[in-house]
Amino acid sequence: MQLYLGKDIGDLLIITLNNVVEGTLAIILLTKCRLKLLQSTITGVVILHLLLVPGAAFLTGGARIWEQDLHPAHTQLNHSLLTVGVLALLLPVIFYAAVSGSASNSTTNSTPSTETLQTEFLQMSRGLAVILLLIYIASRIYYHNPPGEGHTMLNHPDTPEEFKNAEIKLANTKPKVNQWVCLAFLAVNVGVMAATAEWLVDSIEPMVVATSITQEWSGIVLLPIVSFSADGAIAVGYFVHRTLSHLLKFRKPEPPTTLAKAEGIDLSIQFLLFWTPVVTLLGWWTDKPLNLLFDVFEVGLLIGACFLVNYVTQDAKTNWIEGFALLCFYTMIVLCTWFYDGQPAIANLLACPGSTTTE
């Protein structure tokens, strides 16, 4: 479809379709009122696409080259969008800490009730969701139609030459499949993914009960990795095939590209600024008390991942050791999350009416 839509719109379509699995998973968790698990999964999806996916791409892509390039203007915009998305999730945590701290230090019995706090955080979260959606829509308008006559990200003065060559190559490539066939194939895939996501959710609870896996680890690590496993398997298979072909002399290795693959960062930004607000507003529509008050641990993970990714890409260049650092930090998160049980006080604010579970 990218050949029919062009690179900019095609890239947006690819990013959206790559997020459909996780987005569908989030909606299913919402309908089943597994709200705490949903929050943990949102955290895990963003962290996976910020650390594991670009880390693996930078490591393998930079193994035979000094450094690879990112689009400078696109990277700077991503820094701002990623930071504002993470900080938006920090605001409810700060508010909760301030309210809890003032209540504990007060000499009068002024502790807000759970119902009052739940109402306040729902109203706050819905407002934040609308603002985040506006930010994402405005960013797409700016990215696809920058101010000024004839301005595009491609003719930006800092655009690396290989980006321009890739655009020219795409424009001169003729599609081999009819666009309506592509749309039908995508529709079938989305339907299959939705069914698979529901089966995945139904299989999580028995596994958690039968093992020592915590709900936090299931949401932050297990569900995101399983939902990404299809794309990951394709990438690993392609890498193994190319490596074996080179080692067994079946074909000459292609020269390494200077373009770094950082689509995972775009996936994280869209999930933070689009899918998370959409799911929050869907919760409002379906009368599910989903708010944006995440655990302190989860917000800390997001801030750390955001800081590291922005620092690694701040010069719009990457290399294999920076990719390795991203992978190592993701491994640290997986290890620490294994021992984390969550915050019951925050989970209680996610309880659905008439339910006895805080999932």
pLDDT digits (tens, 9 = 90+) for 216-226: 999 999 989 88
Q: Is the pLDDT of residue 358 over 50?
A: no
Torsion of CA 137, 16, 21, 233, to 10 degrees: -140
Q: What is the pLDDT of residues 228-243, one digit of tens each?
A: 776 666 666 666 666 6
Rounded Cα distance between 248 and 240, Å, is: 12
Q: Which residues are CB-contacts of 320 (< 8 A; sequence separation ≥ 6)?
A: 58, 59, 60, 61, 62, 63
Using alpha carbons only, what angle is made at residue 189 by residues 186 and 191, rounded to the nearest 5 degrees?
Answer: 115
From 25-34, 109-118, 229-238, the region with the lowest mean pLDDT? 229-238
DSSP string, 261-302: --HHHHHHHHIIIIIHHHHHHHHHHTT----S---HHHHHHH
Residue 76: strand, helix, or coil: helix
Six token digits for residue 24: 């569908």
- Mean pLDDT (the chain) is 83
Rounded Cα distance between 40 and 22, Å, is: 12
Q: Which residues are CB-contacts of 237 (< 8 A; sequence separation ≥ 6)?
A: none
Query: The pTM is what?
Result: 0.88
Length of the chain: 359
Q: Which residues are CB-contacts of 313 (< 8 A; sequence separation ≥ 6)?
A: 70, 75, 78, 79, 262, 265
With b for 16 or more beta-carbon neighbours within 10 A and e for fewer, the 273-288 pattern comes to bbbbbbbbbbbbeeeb
From 66-70, 82-86, 105-109, 209-213, the region with the lowest mean pLDDT? 105-109
